[in-house]
Amino acid sequence: MKTVKIGLLGIGNVGSGAFQIFSLNSASIAKASGCEITVSGVLARSKNKKRDIDINPEIITDDPDEIIKNPEIDIVVEALGGIEPATTFMLSAMKNGKHVVTANKAAIAANYDKLTEAAAENGVQFKFEASVGGGIPILNAIDTVLRGNEFTEIMGIVNGTTNYILTKMAEEKLPYDVALKNAQELGFAEADPTADVEGIDVANKLTILMALAFGQYIKPENIPTTGISKITAADIEAAALKGCKIKLIAHAKMNGTSCSDCAEKGKLEYSVKPMLLPNDHPLAGVSNEFNAVFITGNAVGELMFYGRGAGAMPTGSAVVGDVIEIAKSFK
Amino acid sequence: MKTVKIGLLGIGNVGSGAFQIFSLNSASIAKASGCEITVSGVLARSKNKKRDIDINPEIITDDPDEIIKNPEIDIVVEALGGIEPATTFMLSAMKNGKHVVTANKAAIAANYDKLTEAAAENGVQFKFEASVGGGIPILNAIDTVLRGNEFTEIMGIVNGTTNYILTKMAEEKLPYDVALKNAQELGFAEADPTADVEGIDVANKLTILMALAFGQYIKPENIPTTGISKITAADIEAAALKGCKIKLIAHAKMNGTSCSDCAEKGKLEYSVKPMLLPNDHPLAGVSNEFNAVFITGNAVGELMFYGRGAGAMPTGSAVVGDVIEIAKSFK
């Protein structure tokens, strides 16, 4: 059985989730991939920091080149987060002939063109299922078994923090500030919640969804984006009286699919904003930290994918799935 | 650009859906697969029957060997339905070096071992995304990006006819017989509804789901199966009073995942039967002819896939998706 060696950049939430899954499910992963997959390098700030997971300190390094430029490593898993240095590391890994897997929506959204071109130029695979919807296998579905469709619309609840806050505001009639504080105490929101509550994280994910589904790379800063920080308890109550819920929605719609000769045909419209959804809309029932993506294709009709959009193990599941798909080509 | 030639066995509901999609979305299919995919042979009883779709009569044949044994054809799409002669045709196509795509749950469930072994022996691909959940891309997800998981449970609403009948019984307080007749008039149920209402179709699909998710081939006749024909309006009303819905569920559960040393650990339990689901269960909101599959993995947690489980275009979407995936290997 061929051995495939993984280098892990970062051992935070996502990195440690993937690391644990490689060990927990090693037998089924080997069966599915046809390879023995081992993590043989981990980039971390400190060799000896106390960690919840058991990592041989000999594979830990604080020098990224020991992973990116290591001829022994086949696949680099980037789990640092943030645009830089993650993008530079991924480009360098590709130049060194390594396949790259990442969960990093900010880096992909900012540099989708550079990263996909570098992968093509260097003949390596670049996979990022975990970047949208955590463990929900939406990107692979769009890019493989749904390719018989032309897509007409995407609506996604793709940020667990804001969905948790909106759910608590509706269910417990809490004001925004209290619901946010509540989410921070439970670890569902960060100390600085700006990227989540102002819709920046959702815009990054919409950039990735649109690039795959519609083949158009629209940078997140060009997506009209409104977050949830101005939503009040009164807004939510007014929505409830209309039989609706307020959800923060990543929305993209291909115009003119029903008007064969209008000028706007084929024009993609997109936004990130709080939307009123009737209670019987499939997305209205997606509560708390759960994510869901509703997608419409001209053959398949309406589909919805629902699951855990964050967390070490669900996100790690998607990273490991991508690694397995790449490892199959080593068999 | 390489041309990939498809032979279509049968041009009923599924076959004509796939045929239409190849033409409707030809540009995006070519882009995704890197190949020009053409349907170059169609098995049908009559060359000159009036059809809703426009097929060049020269590619129609009533001799299966003109497709199965035609050296020009790369991929055979089996869309006849039923166990035989479909299984024999698929085995013969594989022996002749052709990749096989099918939507035929009855044939796969009856002969999963023979068909997968024949594909492996002959070095061809065998794909059947359309066989469970129509256009919902559940099988590919289980077999690719979710392989980092060990699965613990599957619950599926995978038969649109019975879900339609149960929905109408609940929403319009109809007795079973009236709801069935209603479904038959609208084309959601067949004149002889036995395979649907007695759960046979659902058992076929559970066999396929279990084979992929748990690696165990359990024949449908060995699955304890109860249909919906004995469900009364009173049962549904009693369920509603408890805050529940009755749904026909394909259920499989890996035992003992939470008891590390019990004797039953690793024992798969499975059934097809009407189950009471609380109204806030994600599957309780799946109405009418829609299908959904709820699956739990030890890393990803709970996932749900929702969409149209039948119909020419949704089922055709899955067939075309499988063909595209195979065509990529011809590039």
Are both A291 and A151 inside the same structural domain?
A: yes
Pairwise CA distance, residues B317 & A87, whole Å: 35
Contact B148 A313 (CB under 8 A): no
pLDDT in tens, A63-84: 999 999 999 999 999 999 999 9
User: Looking at residue B280, what is its pLDDT?
Assistant: 85
Pairwise CA distance, residues A223 & A250, whole Å: 10
Q: CA of A26 to nearest chain B CA: how many angstroms apart?
A: 8
Q: What range does the domain containing B61 cover? A: 2-135+313-330
User: Looking at residue B255, what is its pLDDT?
Assistant: 82
Interface test with B, best of A144, A212, A329, A331 (most B CBs within 10 A): A144
What would the two tokens of residue B100 be? 């096989």
Contact B304 A306 (CB under 8 A): yes
Q: CA of B280 to nearest chain A CA: how many angstroms apart?
A: 9
Contact A299 B33 (CB under 8 A): no
Whether omega before B224 lies within 30 degrees of 0, making that bond cis, reads no
A315 to chain B, any CB pair closer than 8 A? The answer is no
Interface test with A, best of B75, B101, B127, B145 (most A CBs within 10 A): B145
Instruction: Give contacts of B 7-36 with A, CB under 8 A.
Output: 17, 21, 24-25, 28-29, 31-33
Query: Which H/E stretch holds residue A275?
Result: strand A268-278
Confidence of residue B125 (pLDDT cuts 50, 70, 90): very high
3-state secondary structure of B278: strand
Q: Which of B72, B81, B79 is nearest to B38 (CA)?
A: B72
B320 to chain A, any CB pair closer than 8 A? The answer is yes
User: Looking at residue B3, what is its pLDDT?
Assistant: 96
Place of tokens 């967390």: A311
Instruction: Give contacts of A 78-137 with B, CB under 8 A.
Output: 129, 135-137
Cβ contacts of B25 on chain A, cutoff 8 Å: 148-150, 298-299
Taking the alpha carbons of B159, B162, B166, B172 in that order, is the dihedral positive or negative?
positive
The C-alpha R_g of chain A, in whole angstroms, comes to 20
B315 to chain A, any CB pair closer than 8 A? The answer is no
Active-site annotation holder among A127, A205, A247, A253: A205
Are both A146 and A295 inside the same structural domain?
A: yes
Q: CA of A182 to nearest chain B CA: how many angstroms apart?
A: 24
Q: What is the mean pLDDT of residues B60-81?
A: 97
Share of chain B above pLDDT 90, in %: 88
Contact A145 B321 (CB under 8 A): yes
B306 to chain A, any CB pair closer than 8 A? The answer is yes
Per the DSSP assignment, residues forming a β-bridge with B157 are B292
pLDDT in tens, B206-234: 999 999 999 999 999 999 999 999 999 99
Are both B186 and B218 inside the same structural domain?
A: yes
B297 to chain A, any CB pair closer than 8 A? The answer is yes
Contact A307 B313 (CB under 8 A): no
Judge whether B119 and B102 are in contact, CB under 8 Å: no
Cβ contacts of B300 on chain A, cutoff 8 Å: 135, 307-308, 313-314, 317-318
User: Looking at residue A260, what is its pLDDT?
Assistant: 52
Are both B129 and B193 inside the same structural domain?
A: no
Pairwise CA distance, residues A313 & B300, whole Å: 6
Domain count, chain B: 2
Within 10 A of A101 (CB to CB), how many other CB atoms are there?
Answer: 28
DSSP B5-44: EEEEE--SHHHHHHHHHHHHTHHHHHHHHSEEEEEEEEE-
User: Looking at residue A264, what is its pLDDT?
Assistant: 60
A282 to chain B, any CB pair closer than 8 A? The answer is yes
CATH assignment at residue B69: 3.40.50.720
Are both B73 and B101 inside the same structural domain?
A: yes
Cβ contacts of B320 on chain A, cutoff 8 Å: 147-148, 299
Q: What is the mean pLDDT of residues B279-288?
A: 90
Contact A145 B150 (CB under 8 A): no
Are both B228 and B80 inside the same structural domain?
A: no
Active-site annotation holder among B127, B168, B205, B245: B205
Are both A127 and A168 inside the same structural domain?
A: no
Confidence of residue B258 (pLDDT cuts 50, 70, 90): low
Q: What is the mean pLDDT of residues B286-310?
A: 95
User: Looking at residue A246, what is its pLDDT?
Assistant: 98
Contact A147 B297 (CB under 8 A): no
Q: Report the first-to-last Cα separation within chain A, whole angstroms.
A: 8
Q: Is the pLDDT of residue B330 over 70?
A: yes
Contact B306 A311 (CB under 8 A): no
- Tell me the one-letter amino acid at A140: N
Q: Is the pLDDT of residue B27 over 90?
A: yes
In chain B, DSSP assigns E strands to 2-9, 35-43, 60-61, 75-78, 99-102, 126-127, 151-157, 244-254, 268-278, 290-297, 301-308
Kindly report the average pLDDT of chain B as a whole number. 94
3-state secondary structure of B297: strand
Are both A286 and A325 inside the same structural domain?
A: no
B150 to chain A, any CB pair closer than 8 A? The answer is yes
Contact B314 A307 (CB under 8 A): no
Judge whether A67 and A43 are in contact, CB under 8 Å: yes
Are both B162 and B239 inside the same structural domain?
A: yes
Are both B122 and B166 inside the same structural domain?
A: no
Q: Is the pLDDT of residue B133 over 90?
A: yes
A71 to chain B, any CB pair closer than 8 A? The answer is no
ipTM of the shown complex:
0.94
Can B205 be counted among the known catalytic residues? yes
Confidence of residue B265 (pLDDT cuts 50, 70, 90): low
pLDDT in tens, B12-22: 999 999 999 99
Are both A149 and A176 inside the same structural domain?
A: yes
Chain A residue with CA closest to B302: the answer is: A307
Are both A103 and A241 inside the same structural domain?
A: no
Pairwise CA distance, residues B149 & B298, whole Å: 6
Q: What is the mean pLDDT of residues B132-146?
A: 96
B199 to chain A, any CB pair closer than 8 A? The answer is no
CB neighbours of A257 closer than 8 A, spacing ≥ 6? A152, A265, A298
A300 to chain B, any CB pair closer than 8 A? The answer is yes
Cβ contacts of A17 on chain B, cutoff 8 Å: 299
Per-residue pLDDT of chain A (331 residues; tens, 9 = 90+): 899 999 999 999 999 999 999 999 999 999 999 999 999 999 998 877 788 888 999 999 999 999 999 999 999 999 999 999 999 999 999 999 999 999 999 999 999 999 999 999 999 999 999 999 999 999 999 999 999 999 999 999 999 999 999 999 999 999 999 999 999 998 888 999 999 999 999 999 999 999 999 999 999 999 999 999 999 999 999 999 999 999 999 999 998 655 555 556 679 999 999 999 998 888 998 999 999 999 999 999 999 999 998 899 999 999 999 999 999 999 7
User: Looking at residue A256, what is its pLDDT?
Assistant: 66
CATH assignment at residue A274: 3.30.360.10
User: Looking at residue B299, what is its pLDDT?
Assistant: 96
What would the two tokens of residue A57 be? 């300190």
